[in-house]
Chains A and B, each alone.
Chain A
Amino acid sequence: MTGLVAAVSILIVLFALAYGLVVLGISGPPAPAKLRLLGEKYLYYMINPATKYFTAESPEGVSAILWDYRGLDTLYETMVLFGAIIGAILVYREYLHSEPGKTGKIYGLSLIVRAVSKIIIWLTIIIAVAFGFTGQITPGGGFVGGAAFAVVPVLLALVYTLGYARRLGLTHRRALLLRATFLLLLVLVIITPLIAGGYVFQNQAKPGSSFSFPGRFIDSTPLGGSIFLLNLFELFAVAGAFTVAFILLGVIASLKEGD
């Protein structure tokens, strides 16, 4: 019975894909050489001094769409992410108050791996934070930077063990605090235009509201207005959220070993 269900559902999916292939033109490239109208409009308006009411002041297309044109989508996406993290914490909330054994000695991996990992962790932090700071100019941005930053606690826990990471001050409480603080800042950026008499999620000036975040730095480097701030806060919020999840996984693992 299960085999039949599996076969039928797999066949349905493959048939749908094949149908899409036929519609798109079988065995041809999936994308047309000409740009679609929607993409063309985004590219035309995203950093255009001539169209003051439509510009996002960001030369990077994906950041402009993520945090300006379709900002509410991204806000809800962020909510799904934090909802999932909160759900994960709720499943294991009894472990939040438990203390894993404080070992005086560092176990973890060998001396060589530890010496090299120090430098890797340092470089990872620089690259991750740089993603967040320059997301409006070059590809990258808050989510990518945050996910890259989350590699750091994983490396710390794997290479140096969780006890050492805790001694460095990396606890789930601090990570939760980081996440909550930057989420609050994110929401503040979103509602600031509303307080100033504009619209929610407003970035540059719109008809009926002249409020706009600073679009350019002093030397006219694009800041993307609120895009810069939102990328930055998203970076630390996502990093905090993933750190909580990984620390919790590590705590569960270390307690299971102790049994």
Chain B
Amino acid sequence: MMRAGYIAVWLAGILIYFLIVARITLFDLVVAPIISMVAALIVGGEVVKKPGKALSPKRWLYGLAYTLYYLLVVEPACHLRVASMVLGLRDYMPDIVEVPFDYRTDYAVAATANSITNTPGTIVVDIDPEAKKYFVHWLEAYTRDPRIVREKIIMVFDKWIKKIFED
């Protein structure tokens, strides 16, 4: 199981090498596995723990779909919200709120935090991994009820992130 993780990292590294050099010759075909091997031997066991998940094409497709959805739907909507606040069309009430989450993997936690931070209006300030809580600076903190806050801030990403990194 452990060894399969290294192999997943190794294969992905070869792909990344060819994306960088943008050229396929016999020399590259020989050199790419060696370069990727160096990287995989150093960090392979840390980067991928469950190779079955990393190599699943379904998760990659979900990741691609989520990226498009995030960039084309979620982010423009948040931009419009914050822009209307800046123009004085909408009220705001900035505060730091606690947002509970229920992810098991590091990557899901990090991906959700980055998704929250990258949308305008919300920023993850800190995280408490033991209590499973984000501390989010939010522009519309009218309530502090964890259930509602969670609904408003991370439910947009939640089902995607779980399909990509968990389940």
Contact = CB atoms under 8 A, between A and B. Distances in A.
Q: Do A and B bind each other?
A: yes
Specify the main secondary structure of chain B where it touches its partner: helix
Nearest to B41: A125
A219 interface: yes
Nearest to B45: A168
A127 interface: yes
B35 A112 contact: no
Contact of A133 (B26, B35, B42, B127): B35
A217 B26 contact: yes
B35 A115 contact: no
Given A111-B106, A134-B21, A219-B25, A126 B36 contact: yes
Nearest to B117: A112
Nearest to B112: A112
B129 A111 contact: yes
A221 B126 CA distance: 51
Nearest to A114: B106
Contact of B110 (A111, A125, A138, A218): A111
B89 interface: no
Nearest to B105: A115
B47 A119 contact: yes
Nearest to A156: B43
Given A110-B127, A129-B38, A129-B39, A122 B109 contact: no
A112 B27 contact: no
B106 A134 contact: no
Interface in A122-176: 122-123, 125-127, 129-130, 133-134, 138, 152
A55 to B, nearest CB: 18
A115 B43 CA distance: 12
Given A110-B127, A111-B127, A112-B127, A221 B26 contact: yes
A50 B133 CA distance: 69
23 contacts: A110-B127, A111-B127, A114-B106, A115-B106, A116-B114, A119-B47, A121-B43, A122-B39, A123-B16, A125-B43, A126-B20, A126-B39, A127-B20, A129-B35, A130-B20, A130-B21, A133-B34, A133-B35, A152-B42, A219-B25, A219-B26, A221-B26, A221-B28
A70 interface: no
Interface residues of B, number: 31
Interface string B37-66: 011001100110000000000000000000
B17 interface: yes
A118 interface: yes
Given A111-B109, A115-B106, A134 B26 contact: no
Contact of B47 (A118, A152, A217): A118
Contacts of B25: 217, 219, 221
Contacts of A219: 25-27
B126 to A, nearest CB: 7
Contacts of B17: 126, 130
A152 B39 CA distance: 11
B108 to A, nearest CB: 9
B39 A112 contact: no
A18 B41 CA distance: 54
Contacts of A130: 17, 20-21, 35
A110 B153 CA distance: 20
Contacts of A112: 109-110, 113-114, 124, 127
Contacts of A110: 126-127, 129
Nearest to A216: B27
A217 B13 contact: no
B43 A118 contact: yes
A79 to B, nearest CB: 26
B13 A126 contact: yes
Contacts of A119: 47
Contacts of A152: 42
